[in-house]
Structure 1
Amino acid sequence: MYQSLSEAIDELGQKGYCRVEVAKNGTLKIGEKKYTSCQDLDILENINFDLGTDPSEEVDLYLLAAANGDKGYLVHGLSEHLQPGRAEIINQLLRKHSI
């Protein structure tokens, strides 16, 4: 498993994953494709980084995939204040997948 968030992001990039961008209105962008809902997305894995030594890496990393083959990662800081649109996307994904 990954020892740090930066290691995970580097390796995921080599495997074709890109960062999931979340707009204030809750729209997701994976690569060049925009998603207005989570219905077309699946959570492949949830990786928690709570190493106890670096508070900036206390995050959840969600690996997402779309039916068209797009793959992305969504970084969710456990202690950060989220934008409303971003929080709603995370809630939708968690409700859909109950992880």
Structure 2
Amino acid sequence: MDIGTFWNVIEAARAGAAETGKPFDEVLVEQLADRPQQEILEYAERFDELHDALYRWDVWAGCLPHRRRVLRRQFHGLPSWCDRFGPSVVPARGR
């Protein structure tokens, strides 16, 4: 799965969540469950690549100006924050 398809899956789940009122993660799981196993594995690989790209202190520090009060323990909330803003905040090597 290329990065464009990955973000299309995310956007489709986001739109589905807005349309149905269900939580984003539930809609994403439902949409992934309808895909072939190979695509699910490719999605997971891409997710892991982006996750690794986001768990760097330089990326986290770059997000500080966008958050009012960020504490060290909030580092684990960074991927969900980045997901909310989409590919524009993901490091270039993760795009």
TM-score, normalization: structure 2? 0.27
Greater helix share, 1 or 2?
Answer: 2
TM-score by length of 1: 0.26
Q: Which has the higher strand share?
A: 1
